[in-house]
Amino acid sequence: MDMKALAMYAEQANCRVTTGISMATATTFRIGGPADLLIDIPHAEAAAAVLRFCKAENIPWLWLGNGSNLLVGDRGIRGAVLRWDTRRSAPQLVSENTITAEAGLSLQRLCLFARDNALAGLEFAYGIPGTVGGAVYMNAGAYGGQMADVLVSATCLTAQGEIVHVPDEDLRLDYRHSALMETGAIVAAVTLRLQPGDKEAIAARMKELIAKRQEKQPLEYPSAGSFFKRPTGYFAGALVEQSGLKGYRVGGAQVSEKHAGFVINRENATAADVRRLCADVQEKVRTLHGVSLEPEVQFVGEF
Ligand SMILES: Cc1cc2nc3c(=O)[nH]c(=O)nc-3n(C[C@H](O)[C@H](O)[C@H](O)COP(=O)(O)OP(=O)(O)OC[C@H]3O[C@@H](n4cnc5c(N)ncnc54)[C@H](O)[C@@H]3O)c2cc1C
């Protein structure tokens, strides 16, 4: 793996390159060892070039959004971590109720833009700490809404570095699932359709949902949100709580005492702590309730 050549190539393509950055600083869990190379990429053409280079040189890569749904291993990530450098880019209103946005934009900013333009439909997403691209990949959702409800299409990069237009039906968004998980394509930009609404009412709903999160979720500790997917017919948090695991701790990782669906980094947790805690919870819930809990959080890198 010629990482030096990749770093030089990416810099020539106007990317920002950082070596050996701790993934604990790039994820909301605040856990994870170093990434060989982190490349912040300004636009789709540069991303396409970097992906083609990685393919030609057999360099593994991981696409990073805001790192809010990831558990990175303690030994970090070999190869390249790629990320959009478009967190603060401006969304565009392209018709009365249609918005386009770059995938690196924070979901928070997108929601504020929709509110400021009196467009309803994204209130559910206010408070989900991801990027637009990560939200599409995960079909992020909350409080009865999900990205599938508002997505019209996406501009994507294939793993071969081609830029393609993908309509929403081909993205096959489902509960915490999208076709991107199979194709490996990267979202570069999205088009969303919202409904004309009342600015004050939209703002009030967003405020209400943030208050709910603050009341119910352990936002005072680093985490990756709900740790397990919702098993059909159950709530993961309720199963964990009924298994007597609220507050259960392994090293610095803990099942939140406030919300048993969250695993928190209580105190200098390692990825090994979280992984062990996850296995213990899965085993106890399976034994007591006969239900298999599947992590919603993605485990990446070397453990
Ligand atoms: C406090 C807290 C509350 C949360 N609440 C919710 C909630 O209510 N609902 C919910 O659904 N989630 C919630 N989450 C989880 C998380 O915020 C979402 O899953 C979010 O969509 C992840 O986006 P991200 O940009 O951080 O992606 P990351 O965590 O960086 O990546 C997640 C996956 O998406 C892929 N990805 C990222 N960007 C792209 C891209 N541009 N193209 C293709 N793939 C990409 C990555 O490769 C990775 O596989 C919460 C997390 C926290 C910490």
Q: Phi-psi bin for 30: left (phi > 0), alpha (psi -120 to 50), beta? A: left
Distance 287 CA to ligand 1 centre (A): 30
- Reference 152, options 94, 108, 83; nearest CA is 94
Task: Give phi and psi for 97, each to the nearest 5.
Answer: -130, 20
**Pair 245, 255: CB distance under 8 Å:** yes
Residue spans per domain, the chain: 3-84, 92-206, 218-300
Of all protein residues, the one whose alpha carbon is nearest to atom 9 of ligand 1 is 141
Query: Given pLDDT bands bounded at 50, 70 and 90, which one contains residue 159?
Result: confident
Dist. CA 41–CA 69, nearest whole Å: 20
Ligand 1, residues at Cβ distance < 6 Å: 28, 63-70, 103, 128-131, 133-135, 137-138, 140-142, 180, 186-187, 217, 219, 223-225, 298
Contact assessment for residue 13 and residue 49, using Cβ atoms and an 8 Å cutoff: yes
Q: Which of 68, 89, 226, 298 to mutate to test the pocket of ligand 1 (most atoms within 8 A of CB)?
A: 68
Separation of alpha carbons 44 and 54, rounded Å = 15
d(CA 139, CA 89): 21
Q: Residue 108: exposed, middle, or buried by beta-carbon count in 10 A (0-12, 13-18, 19+)?
A: middle
Domain 3-84 has CATH 3.30.43.10: yes
CA distance 142 to 180: 20
User: Percent of the chain scored above 70 by pLDDT?
Assistant: 100
What would the mean pLDDT of 154-167 be, rounded to a whole number? Answer: 92
pLDDT at 160 over 90: no
CA distance 97 to 5: 45
Q: Which pLDDT score, from 0 to 100, does residue 161 have?
A: 84
pLDDT in tens, 226-250: 999 999 999 999 999 999 999 999 9
Provide Rg for the chain, Cα atoms.
20
> Which residue has a Cα nearest atom 35 of ligand 1?
134
Q: What is the dihedral of CA 21, 22, 26, 28, to 10 degrees?
A: 180
Record: fold of 218-300? 3.90.78
* Unique residue bearing structure tokens 């199963």: 239
Structure confidence by residue, pLDDT tens digits, 6-34: 999 999 999 999 999 999 999 999 999 99
Which CATH class for the 92-206 domain?
Answer: alpha beta
